[in-house]
Amino acid sequence: MVNVTVDGIKVSVPDNSTILQAAEAVGINVPTLCYHPDQSVKANCRVCVCEVEGNRLLQAACSQPVFEGMVVKTRTPKVIEARKTILEMILAHHPQDCLNCLRNENCELQSLAAEYFIRDNPFELKVRGLAKDLSTPSLFRDPDKCVLCRRCIEACSVIQTVDALGIENRGNHAMVVPSLGKNLSDSPCIMCGQCIHACPVGAIGEVEEIDKLLAAIADPNKVVVTQIAPAVRLAVSEEVGLLTGDLPMEVFVAGLKQVGFDHVLHTNFTADLTIMEEGNELLSRLQNGGKLPMFTSCSPGWINFAETFYPDLLDNLSTCKSPQQMFGALVKTYWAEKMNIPAENIYSVSIMPCVAKKFEAARPEMNASGYRDVDLVLTTREVGRLFRMSGIDFKKLPAQPFSPWMSEYTGAAVIFGATGGVMEAALRTVYEVVMEETLGDLNFTFARGFEGIKEAEVDLKGTKVKVAIAHGLGHARQLMDQVRAGQSPYHFIEIMACPGGCIGGGGQPITKRNAKRLERIEAIYEEDQAMEARKSHINKEVQALYAEYLEKPLGHKSHELLHTHYHDKHKKFL
């Protein structure tokens, strides 16, 4: 331990602590911008400078380690003046259009400018004048707003190992650019959107499509139907001023009805369906010598990653479409028949914690219904905006039920939103189907938690099945490299592109630290625990779907509507 004094307060902190950590320990918030609690120290913005007794120059609190007897002052006039000047210089290169920015009121630079009451900036405004990158259907870049903190680069290269983003040039010419200075769509970007969470400002964001929804709602010929992904409910609470998970599902439904949706259904229904199809696909591969290990295929960022970096291993991916796309294919066929609504009148919307889902919905092969299966994907953040625009007070809104046939779900579907959830859900069903006996304890706790790679061996009537779970594509890469080298010991692997799984997806409320992801994960397992039905195969609406329409898992109709194939993206460079 090291004894230091911060603003006159004596504190003992572990060796190798930084000034920032020491200050935090005594309840002093030193301002930061390039610093990110879950990333390496960058120390490039200098906003966190402090005075250290005996040092002529100010020190960056995020990078300066403490030493025995160190005396730090975090708010002297000299420090304040330096921070203000630094902020003024950053703002002199930053477009002053906060009102029009999608990060308005949720921007680290804006907050700092307010906290340090920047009024008249003595530096002349010189915006770079760079074009926006609108090349992908999922996310855009506005390089003029970039403050060069490089957090997006670390998210993309270290956490996701995609390396779509890098630095071009140096000094005052330095810029964050997609690989080779090209557009995102030419780069290896897999559209996970983790860069959006990393960005402190509005330099990267999701492609906003609320206007398309409003046009569909206004069209009297369209029946606007929506599905809600498992990880959305608990996070959309954060967007409407409630605590994580505090918006009850039926009140969420009522809010969507208020906005103008004709029918609200649930992706959880097809999450349960996914388990039926994917569980049976796994059993079939195990029994018939199919390609192993089998990888889950729910996460479109992960699918893009596999198609980009591991085109030689695409046969290892489950052929199951993601729950979103299963839903899309069924809503314009099965559900249209059930409800007696012409499929061409259905406008199918999905509410997703994800930006890659926008790309997935637009894939040309996703038209098994004879139409585009999912017409529009809105992120959790966009739905938050929609609710705020609509002026809904969720505390006063009476609950409303889902529409029938594709909205029942079990706890197994709920946990799809967390890393390990698909694996746990699959095991609950596979166990009972294979063993033909009821599971006493449904909690496969090995599958839970934030560890990068989790693994276990399960015994299915004498067959030892080795399973693994990875979240964040850097961890997925480790497991893929094992497969490529012919050294994978596993039979079944769950991959989620985003850290924490869908609860940390690129479309979720801006997530500044992993602690928030953990909080959402907790809310997910609480919801599962509270449910009466927690196994996909006992979902009555899923049973009805098989009895009346699909006949059996992996049957002819399933293959037509619920399964897909993958393509090498043939990226020119990685």
DSSP bridge pairs for 281: none
- Which residue stretch of 168-176, 312-320, 362-370, 560-568 sits at the interface with another protein (rule: CB under 8 A)? 168-176
Catalytic pick among 298, 320, 354, 498 = 298
What is the rounded distance in angstroms from the CA atom of residue 285 to the CA atom of residue 272? 20
Interface pick for another protein out of 187, 226, 237, 308 (rule CB under 8 A): 187
Residue 246 within binding range of another protein, rule CB under 8 A: no
Note if 454 is an active site residue: no
Measured between alpha carbons, how far is residue 464 from residues 90, 107, 445, 467 in Å?
Answer: 58, 50, 18, 10
Interface pick for another protein out of 39, 110, 136, 179 (rule CB under 8 A): 179
- Which residue stretch of 139-147, 158-166, 270-278, 535-543 sits at the interface with another protein (rule: CB under 8 A)? 158-166
Interface pick for another protein out of 14, 27, 69, 181 (rule CB under 8 A): 181
Q: Between residues 290 and 474, which has the closer beta carbon with respect to another protein? A: 474
What is the rounded distance in angstroms from the CA atom of residue 150 to the CA atom of residue 195? 10
Instruction: Compute the least distance from the CB of residue 130 to another protein, in Å.
Output: 15
- Contact (CB, 8 A) for 423 and 447: yes
Residue 166 within binding range of another protein, rule CB under 8 A: yes
Instruction: Compute the least distance from the CB of residue 148 to another protein, in Å.
Output: 13
> Nearest CA to 468 among 521, 460, 480, 429?
480
Beta-sheet pairing, 346-352 with 223-228: parallel
What is the rounded distance in angstroms from the CA atom of residue 484 to the CA atom of residue 479? 9
Note if 527 is an active site residue: no
Note if 502 is an active site residue: yes
Residue 180 within binding range of another protein, rule CB under 8 A: yes
Catalytic pick among 51, 108, 239, 281 = 281
> Nearest CA to 504 among 490, 489, 515, 492?
515
Instruction: Compute the least distance from the CB of residue 573 to another protein, in Å.
Output: 4
Report phi then psi at 69, rounded to 5. Answer: 85, 5
Note if 436 is an active site residue: no
Token pair listed for 214? 């409003």
Residue owning tokens 């739905």: 383
- Which residue stretch of 34-42, 110-118, 264-272, 566-574 sits at the interface with another protein (rule: CB under 8 A)? 566-574
Q: Between residues 179 and 299, which has the closer beta carbon with respect to another protein? A: 179
Q: Between residues 164 and 470, which has the closer beta carbon with respect to another protein? A: 164
- Contact (CB, 8 A) for 400 and 254: yes
How many residues in the shown chain lie near another protein by CB under 8 A?
18
- Which residue stretch of 29-37, 136-144, 175-183, 455-463 sits at the interface with another protein (rule: CB under 8 A)? 175-183
Note if 115 is an active site residue: no
What is the rounded distance in angstroms from the CA atom of residue 274 to the CA atom of residue 230? 13
Token pair listed for 430? 């596979």
Catalytic pick among 53, 365, 526, 560 = 365
Do you know the residue count of the chain?
574
Note if 209 is an active site residue: no
Interface pick for another protein out of 126, 170, 396, 565 (rule CB under 8 A): 170
Residue 482 within binding range of another protein, rule CB under 8 A: no
Restricting to residues 304-363, name those near another protein by CB under 8 A: none
Residue 574 within binding range of another protein, rule CB under 8 A: yes
What is the rounded distance in angstroms from the CA atom of residue 543 to the CA atom of residue 272? 10
Catalytic pick among 154, 278, 382, 432 = 278
Catalytic pick among 42, 145, 321, 357 = 357
Note if 344 is an active site residue: no
Instruction: Compute the least distance from the CB of residue 129 to another protein, in Å.
Output: 18
Residue owning tokens 């139409």: 371
Angle at 138 between CA 222 and CA 262, to 5 degrees: 20
Handedness of CA 540, 541, 547, 552 (dihedral sign): negative
Q: Between residues 101 and 164, which has the closer beta carbon with respect to another protein? A: 164
DSSP bridge pairs for 52: 72
- Contact (CB, 8 A) for 214 and 499: no
Binding site for another protein (CB under 8 A): 157, 163-170, 178-181, 187-188, 572-574
Enzyme catalytic residues: 278, 281, 298, 318, 357, 360, 365, 502
